Structures are given as structure tokens and as C-alpha cells.
A = this chain, B = another copy of it.
Amino acid sequence: MNQVTRERIITQSIACLAQNANISMDEIAKSAGVGRATLFRYFKSRAELLVAIKLHAGEQLKAVVSPIFHSDLPAREKMVRIVTRLVPLGASLNVSAYFIYPMKQEDPRVMASYQKYSDQTRQLCLDLKAEGSLNADLPLAWLVASMDNLIFAAWEQVESGDIAPKQAPWLVLRTFLAGHGTPDTVTWLNKQKEAHQ
């Protein structure tokens, strides 16, 4: 098996499924530039392909989030870095991993992968609270949910061409930190933004 081909199939599948969640294996094969038979050689069923896509997205997430999360930066610094690098992942993240099917009873492997990610973002929000960057009275669930969804929203806007790719992460951060944080968190953020440009 060829790892490059495998990756290409996954990448193209994501592109196809973003357009139409019910796209056939036939179309996917065409789009990936491989024969139908080859597609089934790499992924023994459609279900397996979907799992593979989601696990792949999980890998990407982990590759971005974990190193930053385990660094010893202050939490708000971590947040800036994570969001900045997560927004461009939007396509594979949201579309492929957790949005193709509104997934109750998801495959356990996928669940486990997602769990790891969400544990880290939850912890990060706790750290932000502890650090005093976020208002203490907000429910943790809301912090996590709003962050995820703002990242998704930003990606959508980039994708549709309404917002510049470089601007998008800052919009997320601004909305998130100003929306949940203290005023000086915002002034801090503005400085960060200037520094990054």
C-alpha cells in the first residue's frame, strides 16, 4: 500500500463529502484519481473510509493542540496559538471529523480521538479561568462550546471568501476573549495581534 495515495484519497474524500455527505464511493474514487477497485483495496468499506477520515482529522488536531497544550506557556498564550493554527484546519476538522454525520452512536475509535481533544480544550479553559483571563462565573461547557463553534464559524467565512484567512483567527480570539474575559485581556490581545504582524 502506498501511504501517499492513502493520504490523497482521504484528502479528496473530505473535499467531496464537504460538498455532499452522501457522495458515492464511485465519485470519491474519481475525485481521488484512483480506480474504484483501488479505493476498496485501501478502505474495505465506506464505513471504514469514514472512520479513517475522522481518525485522520483527529491526528491533525492532536498534532496541533498537544504540543502547545503541553508547553509551559501561559494559558492565554496557548489559546492564541491553538486558535491561530486550528482555524486553517477547519475543513478537515469540522467537515470531516464531526459534522458529516450528526453522530450519536459514533465509532468508539473516533469517540476516543475526539475525547482527547475536547479534554485538552476543556482543561485550557479551566486554566484560563484560573489565570484570571476569563470570567469565573461562566459555565465551562459554554466556554468550550463557544470556542469550538467560533472556530468553525471562522473557517466557514474563510471558505466562503468573506473573511481573510489571516484575519479569521483574530476575530475568533477577540470574540472569545472579549466575550468571556476581562477588559485587560482584550488590550493584551491587541498587543499580541500587532506583534504577530
Contact = CB atoms under 8 A, between A and B. Distances in A.
Copies in the complex: 2
A89 interface: no
Given A19-B102, A22-B22, A145 B157 contact: yes
Chain A interface size, under 10 / 10 to 19 / 20 to 34 / 35 or more: 35 or more
Interface string A153-190: 11011001011000100010011101110010000000
A160 to B, nearest CB: 8
A55 interface: no
B153 A20 contact: no
A179 B175 CA distance: 4
25 contacts: A20-B101, A22-B22, A95-B102, A139-B163, A139-B171, A141-B157, A141-B162, A141-B163, A142-B153, A142-B157, A142-B175, A145-B153, A145-B154, A145-B157, A146-B150, A148-B153, A149-B149, A149-B152, A150-B150, A175-B176, A175-B179, A176-B179, A178-B178, A178-B179, A179-B180
Interface of A: 17-22, 95, 99-102, 104, 138-139, 141-142, 145-146, 148-150, 152-154, 156-157, 160, 162-163, 167, 171, 174-176, 178-180, 183
